[in-house]
Structures are given as structure tokens and as C-alpha cells.
Structure 1
Amino acid sequence: MTKPITEAAITAFFSTIAATIPASLTIADLGCSCGANSLFAVSEIISIMIDLCNAKKHELPEFQVFLNDLPGNDFNTLFSSFLPRFQEKLSEQMKSKYGASAALACFFNGVPGSFYGRLFAQESLHFIHSSYSLHWLSRVPRELEENKGNISMSRSSPPKLPGMVLTLHGRRSDDPSSEEYRGLWELLAIDLNEMVTEGLIEEEKLHSFNVPYYTPSPKEVRQEVEKQGSFSIDCLEMFEVNHDVIETDFDPNVVLEEAVDKIVGCLRAIAEPLLIHHFGEEIINEVFKRFRAKLGNRFSKEKIPLVSIIISLKKIT
């Protein structure tokens, strides 16, 4: 769904530099994480750039790739386990497309740090990409004393909560406490509240826990870009991905179970470090056991679409 927009943005970029393609092109992926899909976006971007160079009979530039995430990200595993396989696959693709003698100079760098601060030297990047990272805030918003019993935005939350190719979780509604926003986090909050009533979690611990997570509406995204003033918007679109889209010939009940497991795994990968830091490790298995049961019950009655926003920006010169 995002590839055509990414391709259009790169094609537009190449059209502005067609006569003088730099000897080295720099790409940054903000929020790369660590796993089998960490290099997927970079692979797509490089492949598009190679095909454009080939179509225009330009000599291939060198590629400088910056992989960014927070300092706690497992860059060691990313570079030792996933990068060698990626480079080998990229080399094979080059040879299959352009012959046995084809070679690609591609250099990778890890950039630990928050993208809410300064990460790169001035005018040092040509193309920036981020997938499902920007809905994480730089910190939990202030003035959340009245958000007791909730862990994210809800109907009872106080009203002062906040206000390249970038993909992020979003919402269609202008109401920040709408159902499409609350979804999974609200189920998790219910679990934590139940565990408070059973004496498994201290009430004060729950009241002081909030997730630094916010899904904006397209209107809010546009306003932020226009307020910042450095970029113009080429494309701003929304799309939905249903969590239960699994290609299988199995029984529908098996499909449901696999879909639920997939959602639980995704949320646990994100939320577990936050929960352990605040509540301790001993509650984790019980929290997600309860969460899975509630999610399975809800998922059997309705779909839970993932609403996403993709925006393509161009720097104003």
C-alpha cells in the first residue's frame, strides 16, 4: 500500500537531480527496530533508485544508509545477523538484473538516539523514511494526574493531551478519544485495573502509568507540517490493514486464533518493556494471558482495523 507513494516520491526526487546525480546518495530510516523486516524498507528504496538509474542510463551512485532507533535497540544483532544476509541478497539481485560483474557500493551505519532530537549533520540526507514510529511520543505528556485508571487517551482523559515518506498509526476521527484510537490499549487498561482490584498491582502504580503513544488524524498531521514550515506535502493518505488478513486454507477458527496471536505478539513486543519498567517482570505473563482472552472474545465479534497515515514530504528550498 505504501510502495507506490514511496516510489513516486523517489521518482520526483530523481527528476530534480537527473542531470547531476550525486556520487553518493544518503538514506535514513528512522525507527528501524531489529528483526527480519528491519531492512525491508531500505531494500525497497535502494531497488527503486537502482531501477531509476538504470532506466536513465546513469552510473550507479554509492549508497550511504543510516539506520536509526533508540540506544536500547539491538544494533549488534541487526548488524551481525540480519545485515550480512541482506547484503548477500542485494548482491544476488544486482547480478540477476545487471550481469555477473555488477557491483553495488552500499555502506551501513547505526545511529542510536531519539529522532525528536538532532541526529544528522546539516544538509547531509537525500531521502528519509519512517514506518510506524512517529505515533510514539518523545515522552509522556505532562498534566496527566487526572488520567487515573487509563494508560492512554480515553473518553475520560483530560482535554489538554497533545496537540521524507512517513507511515504511522492514525485515526479517521478528529476526536482523540475515539474508539479506533483506544482499541487495544483500552483492553490492556482493563486487565491492569482488574489486577488492581485483585491486589496483584498497586493502585498508585497504575495511576502513574501512561503510554507515550498518540495517533493523530490527517488534519493534525497537516497542521503540524504547515506549522513547522520546512516541508510541503506531496501526498497525505489514509489506509486500513485488517489484523485478520492471513493467507491460509485452515478452518476459520484457526485463522481467528492465528490473528489473535499475531496481535498479542505485536503489542507485547512494544508494551512489555514499558510494563516491566513500571510494574516489574512478575506480572507480565498474567497481563497478556488476560489480554489475549479479551482480545479473542472481541475479535470473534468484530474486525479491528489498523488505521494508518502515509505522508510524503518535500523540503521547501
Structure 2
Amino acid sequence: MDRSLKVISSLIFIHCSEEDIYLQFVLQKLSRKLLIKMEYIHMKGGDEDTSYARNSTFQRNLMSKSSSKLEEAVRKVVLLCLNQKTLISSSIGVADLGCASGPNAFILLSDIIHAINKICSSDEIELLPELRLSLNDLPGNDFNSIFASLPDFYSTIKPDNGGIGGCFVSCVAGTFYGRLFPRRSLHLVHSSTSLHWLSQVPPELQNSGEHLNKGNTYISKSSAECVREAYLRQFQKDFFSFLRCRADEMVPGGQMVLSFIGRVSPDPAAPEAAQAWEILAQALITMASRGKLEEEKIDAFNAPYYAASAAEVEAVILQEGSFAADCLQEYEVRWDQGFHDDGDQSRVLMTKGQRFGRMARAVAEPMIEWSFGFGEDDMDELFQVYDNLVDDHFAGAGAAAPYFINLHLSLTRKDN
């Protein structure tokens, strides 16, 4: 659609009346809005101190909590291929959706390969299958770092080191709320810490002509009911699209393992779902009081994010109808979980607020940079304020440390 708009605007520019030039301006703005929906929601690339690659231990811990379910899903895929007598004659298609960059992307692939080797060895399967491993994220993701790391990854899975029969890694850029792969080409789909991101800010909050969620960056206690309903509708639409697209791409009996931030409370503004965003709003308001940005920009900003409840997730699965839910679990994950598990001694003396702020910055900086136009100095100042507010929040919480709720789903593609 974006390309079509550019072509149309180029044709319109040939006619130079005021109306035509105005129409071209509108089309260019529309084209930019369409790009922004995808381009500004990605993790911070590179390998510097504030990059996602250096600040994703929290996400790695969430992935590890799904390791047993992932191995169980791999076993089901291997047995499925054995029953269909396709384990050796054709390859197994695996996709990791929302892979980001850094070491986490390859940890998952290594875990899958290890699980297949373990299962095939225990079942005395001599000829090991070939794997098509696809890493997906939005076009703005730092795929260059993934490509640069591929030689090292391949060296760890050579056949003479007990590796699989063949492994072929590819990167696929695009939104997982649309089709990414050929029909019935995938046996296993995985996604971790991604599906809480929406495809866009709910349109009702962007196109109403007024700021319906003034002073907030996400749903809060002060948000109107129409704001809460708009976020829920956007989640329902997006998750339905996600499931429908995967249903087209997966073989019957294929397995899907999903993990993302959700909530237990029926209230979408509960601290477990909204506290981190409320602290960001406070930090932005502080920056506005210092003359670093206009308050209207804060009023206009709404995060493309939704922490769904298990009931909301189940309702969409039932509505879409292509998957059977084998498992749906919810568990608490403390904000400070895994802070000292990355082996980086330079961070041991950092406060909890600083460690959490680094993770939050690695996740949100591209979105904040585009939305508020912050340069490096202003971004540093914003997250200094944020870090201090998070430290205050930890101090006020006492022994009851703040936490997220992580939802884990294991799904099987039905035969329909």
C-alpha cells in the first residue's frame, strides 16, 4: 500500500494546482503514518551500553521459563513428522516471531536444535531432519547483527559435533500480524515477549481530533472507559489476525509456543499491567516542566501496547477457531528478576532503578525518539529521571517488589 501511495502522489504532482499539491501533501503524510506503525516499534540495535543486545537478560529469563513447554512442542512435531513419514523426506519449518537482536535470538535456535537432537537420540532415529529456521521481526530491527553472528552459530551445530542433518537460517522482515510464510510450511512457531505490542495505537485515540487519554502514556486509573475499550478492541483485532495468519502457514498438528506480558487482574489499569507506563508518564511530565518538550506531545502519545488477561486471550482463540489451547499459564515475574545473571560486573553496583531503566530504554527508545524528537542528551536525562522514579517505586514497595504477569500458551493447529 505504501508503494502505491508513492506512485499515486508522484502522478498527482504532474498537475500543479493548489488542490493537487495539497492532496500530494496529505498522501505523503498518510504514507508516513503507515510506515510509523511498523518502523518505530523495535528494540534498540547495536551493541552499546543502552542497546537491547546488552540489556535483555529479563527477556532471556522469560524465555527460559518456557523451555520445558518448548521441548514438549518439539517432541510433538518430531512425532507428527514420523507418523506422516516426512521427518527425513522433507524439512521441518520453525519460526521465531519477534526475535529482536542480540544473543537471545540464537539461544532459542540452539534450544530447539538441542531438543531435536535429544529426542531423535532417545528414539534411536539415525537420520536427523533438516531444519528451516526463520527469524522474524519488523523492518527496523537490527538484522545486521544477526547476520554477523551467523558464522559463529553455524560453527556450534556442525554435524561432526553432534549437530542436526542440516540447518538453514533466514531472516524475514515484516509484521507478524500479517502473512509471512507460504501456506502449510511451518511445523513450530515460537514468540516470546512480543505479542503485548499492538500493530498500532488504537485508531480511536489517534483520529478523534482530541486527546482522549490526556496525561497518560497507556491505560491508567484516570483513563476513560472509551480508552480501555479501544485498547481491548485493538488487541482482539490484532491477536485474531495473528492466529488466522499462523493457521494458514502451519501444518495441521503443528505446535505454537507463545509467551508475552499480560495481567491477572480484570482491571487493565492494575499495577501489574500499567505501572511501568505510569512511571514513564511521570518522567515525561518532569521533562516538560524543565522545558524539554511540550505537554501536548505527552497528551497525544499512547503506547501501542496491551497487557491482556487470560480470559481475553482465550476468547480470541475460541473466536478464531483454528487452534486448540493445550496450556495457558500465568505467573509473576519481578522487575528485578535476573539483574545479576548476565555476568557483567560493571553493572553490579547499579541500582535496581538503573538496571530496570536500561532494559526499559532498550525497548522503548526508538518509539520515544520518534514521538518526542529527543536527542541523546535529552534521552539520557529522561531515563535518569525514570531510573530515580523506579528506585523510589522499589523503595516504596518494600518486600513486595513490583512485578509483571507473563502469560504462556501452548497451542496445536487443528485439522480444520
User: When the two structures are superposed, what TM-score results if normalisation uses the length of structure 1?
Assistant: 0.90
Q: Do the aligned partners of 1:256 and 1:299 also contact (CA within 8 Å) in 2?
A: no
Matched, 1:143 2:197: no
Please give the secondary structure, in 1, of the residue aligned with 2:298. Answer: helix
**1:286 offset after TM fit, Å?**
1.5
Q: Do the aligned partners of 1:95 and 1:103 also contact (CA within 8 Å) in 2?
A: no
Partner of 1:183: 275
- Distance between the aligned counterparts of 1:258 and 1:16, measured in 2? 49
Partner of 2:113: 46
Q: Which moved more, 1:37-46 or 1:10-19?
A: 10-19
**1:38 offset after TM fit, Å?**
1.5
Partner of 1:251: none
Superimposed CA distance per residue, residues 91-119 of structure 1 (whole angstroms, 9 cap, x where no aligned partner): 3xx645x4xxx664110111000001111
Partner of 2:310: 218
Q: Which moved more, 1:296-305 or 1:164-173?
A: 296-305
**1:156 offset after TM fit, Å?**
1.7
Structure 2 counterpart of 1:13, one-letter code: V
Q: Do the aligned partners of 1:25 and 1:61 also contact (CA within 8 Å) in 2?
A: yes
Count of residue pairs brought into register by the alignment = 305
- Distance between the aligned counterparts of 2:316 and 2:349, measured in 1? 38
Structure 1's unaligned 5+ residue stretches are 249-253
Partner of 1:279: 372
- Distance between the aligned counterparts of 1:263 and 1:95, measured in 2? 42
Please give the secondary structure, in 1, of the residue aligned with 2:231. Answer: coil
Structure 1 counterpart of 2:75, one-letter code: T
Task: Flag the structure with higher helix content.
Answer: 2
**1:200 offset after TM fit, Å?**
2.1
- Distance between the aligned counterparts of 2:404 and 2:176, measured in 1? 24
Specify which of 169, 172, 178 is matched with residue 108 of structure 1. Answer: 169
Structure 2 counterpart of 1:298, one-letter code: H
Matched, 1:67 2:67: no
Q: Do the aligned partners of 1:149 and 1:207 also contact (CA within 8 Å) in 2?
A: yes
**1:256 offset after TM fit, Å?**
8.0
Q: Do the aligned partners of 2:353 and 2:388 also contact (CA within 8 Å) in 1?
A: no
Partner of 2:80: 16
Partner of 1:121: 182
- Distance between the aligned counterparts of 2:351 and 2:155, measured in 1? 32
Matched, 1:161 2:253: no
Specify which of 265, 269, 275 is matched with residue 358 of structure 2. Answer: 265
Q: Do the aligned partners of 2:191 and 2:258 also contact (CA within 8 Å) in 1?
A: yes
Structure 2 counterpart of 1:9, one-letter code: A
Q: Do the aligned partners of 1:32 and 1:39 also contact (CA within 8 Å) in 2?
A: no
Q: Do the aligned partners of 2:199 and 2:304 also contact (CA within 8 Å) in 1?
A: yes
**1:15 offset after TM fit, Å?**
2.8
Superimposed CA distance per residue, residues 131-186 of structure 1 (whole angstroms, 9 cap, x where no aligned partner): 10000000001222310110111112232223210010111111111111111111
Superimposed CA distance per residue, residues 200-257 of structure 1 (whole angstroms, 9 cap, x where no aligned partner): 2112211111110111111111111111111110110012222334458xxxxx9683
The 1:278/1:228 distance shift into structure 2, 3 A limit, reads: same
Partner of 1:297: 392
The 1:203/1:244 distance shift into structure 2, 3 A limit, reads: closer
Q: Do the aligned partners of 1:154 and 1:177 also contact (CA within 8 Å) in 2?
A: yes
- Distance between the aligned counterparts of 2:370 and 2:258, measured in 1? 29
Structure 1 counterpart of 2:150, one-letter code: L
Q: Do the aligned partners of 2:95 and 2:133 also contact (CA within 8 Å) in 1?
A: yes
**1:197 offset after TM fit, Å?**
3.1
- Distance between the aligned counterparts of 2:406 and 2:340, measured in 1? 21
Q: Do the aligned partners of 1:34 and 1:75 also contact (CA within 8 Å) in 2?
A: yes
Please give the secondary structure, in 2, of the residue aligned with 1:219. Answer: helix
Share of identical aligned residues, percent?
38
Partner of 1:132: 193
- Distance between the aligned counterparts of 2:393 and 2:348, measured in 1? 15
User: When the two structures are superposed, what TM-score results if normalisation uses the length of structure 2?
Assistant: 0.70
- Distance between the aligned counterparts of 2:273 and 2:121, measured in 1? 43
**1:51 offset after TM fit, Å?**
1.4
